[in-house]
A and B are shown apart, each in its own frame.
Chain A
Amino acid sequence: MIKRSAEPLLWMVFSAGGVVAALVLPMLLFLFGVAFPLGWIAPPSATHLASVIGHPLTRLTLVVVCTVSLFHAAHRFRYTLYDGLQIKHLNEIIALACYGGAVVGSVASAYLLATF
């Protein structure tokens, strides 16, 4: 059996997450993080948001957005520590913590949206 490296798959998810995070997250952050809190735009009602999130397509989209964005972040942060701070001797522990965090976050998002 040929031992295959997980690296190509991780880089692929990193790219997918990079695209998704770039396309979707800025507007969501602008609305929920800046425009609604500062009163620039009136926030939507809970009923409206509940009906939006209640749609299966929204929930599926959100789970995909959360999962690939978290893996993108985990992969990039892993290499920030590796190249930026030159922490090379803790490579395995850092990888485990980064991808482990992404797995926990993805499972949490899937659970939250499946039971919404």
Chain B
Amino acid sequence: MAHIAEHYTAYHPRWLRPHISTYWWLRKRSYFAFILREVSSVFVAWSVVYLLLIVYAVGQGAVQYQELLEWSRQPWVVIVNVSSLLLVGFHAVTWFNLAPQALVVRFGHTHLPGSFISLSNYAAWVAVSAIVAWIVIGG
């Protein structure tokens, strides 16, 4: 290895670093879907904040709760929440579709098919959603 060091010069060659545009994710549908899925994180955070606003209003009493319901009917709030529902839904679908890659259940030499894993995730989604709706609306 020593003979390589002898060829060292003070002049370092330029790094080969191709410039990648900030808008690289607009070039392909799959790139755009990737970024859309990443952006869903903002809407997940908003959903938690919105949920806490509801909890706070309910805790303050019936009047504050009615005021919050009024506020939630404003067009911009509805637009934000419809966008959130679409993106959080997109997160859910992509998450469940990816589950077979993350979770491999083996039985001896064989393993459960991926479709079984994603289908059981969807079944859990339906069950949890039904329970949540039943609890919120009041049985």
Report which A residues bind B (CB closer than 8 A). Answer: 15, 17-19, 21-34, 36-38, 41, 43-50, 52-53, 58, 62, 65-66, 69-70, 72-77, 79-80, 83-86, 101, 105, 108-109, 112-113, 115-116
Instruction: Quote the shortest CB–CB distance from B123 to chain A (angstroms).
Output: 11
Question: Chain B CB within 10 Å — which of A22, A43, A79 has the most?
Answer: A22
Size category of the B interface is 35 or more
**Overall SS of chain B's interface:** helix
Contact present for A52 and B136 (CB under 8 Å): yes
Q: Select A28's contact among B47, B80, B102, beta carbons within 8 Å.
A: B47
Instruction: Quote the shortest CB–CB distance from B70 to chain A (angstroms).
Output: 9
Contacts of A50 in B (CB 8 A): 58-59
Q: Does B33 contact A (CB under 8 A)?
A: no
Contacts of B124 in A (CB 8 A): 23
Contacts of A18 in B (CB 8 A): 91, 95
A-contact 0/1 string along B12-48, CB 8 Å cutoff: 0000000010100100000000010011111011011
